[in-house]
Amino acid sequence: MSFADLGLSPELLKAVNDAGYDTPTPIQAQAIPPVLMMRDIIGIAQTGTGKTASFVLPMIDILAQGRSRARMPRSLILEPTRELAAQVAENFEKYGANHKLSMALLIGGVSMGDQIKALEKGVDVLIATPGRLMDLFSRGNILLTGCSLLVIDEADRMLDMGFIPDIEEICTKLPKTRQTLLFSATMPPPIKKLADKFLSNPKTIEVSRPASTNLN
């Protein structure tokens, strides 16, 4: 199977090819088609399985339709740490090379003023850690009512770091009719409860740990 079999656009396939990849990992092969069909997904996969590209790639094609409005991001990716958030941003830059999508990275340790400026212009993709997002939300700098796609990544690490109450709060500020993708290496009861509460008829995809390293 190749990336060309997954329903991605020619522009995106070119970016993937230019990055040196031609064969999707199991999580990519299983997750990309249903994400493109706007299904909710629970992806049980560890780091190193290529899971980041399994949501970044279809998101780029989904977001290619439509445009952003001031202070209202069209999609939101929640990451537990700034390092992971920065990695996801790099993925968007690499694979979105042939698309004109705007992105903001909302993490601690980066100037708040610059982040607010990016949001004021309107972004297609907002990549954030829960604490910084809640901070900006409380200041009224951001509205999530136009956000139609939510990714909760590394959910079990979010649980370990005490972010689940923040995530629940963030979910209540998003439109009810949205697409939600949840990724976690394991599914402890609090994560299962979170998924039951905020995902709609999700497709569950489980992949084992890879023997070799692949596209992240």
Q: Is residue 117 part of a domain?
A: yes
Distances (CA, A) of 69 to 76, 82, 135, 144, 196: 14, 25, 21, 11, 30
Q: Is residue 133 part of a domain?
A: yes
Q: What pTM did the predictor assign?
A: 0.93
Q: Is residue 34 part of a domain?
A: yes
Distances (CA, A) of 89 to 17, 33, 92, 137, 138: 19, 22, 5, 21, 24
Tokens of 12: 């995106």
Angle formed at CA 25 by CA 24 and CA 26, multiple of 5 degrees: 115
Q: Is residue 141 part of a domain?
A: yes
Q: Is residue 13 part of a domain?
A: yes
The CATH number for 191's domain is 3.40.50.300
Could you tell me which of 58, 147, 66 has the C-alpha nearest to residue 106? 147
Q: How many domains does the chain have?
A: 1
**Per-residue pLDDT tens digits of the chain, which is 216 residues long:** 899 999 999 999 999 999 999 899 999 999 999 999 999 999 999 888 899 999 999 999 999 988 888 888 999 999 999 999 999 999 999 999 999 899 999 988 877 788 888 888 889 999 999 998 998 888 888 889 999 999 999 999 999 999 999 999 999 999 999 999 999 999 999 999 999 999 999 999 999 875 554 555
Structural domain span for residue 152 = 3-206
Q: Is residue 46 part of a domain?
A: yes
Q: Is residue 108 part of a domain?
A: yes
- pLDDT for the residue 11: 94
Number of helices and strands (H, E) in the chain? 9, 7
At position 199, the amino acid (one-letter code) is L
Q: Is residue 214 part of a domain?
A: no
CA distance 144 to 79: 17
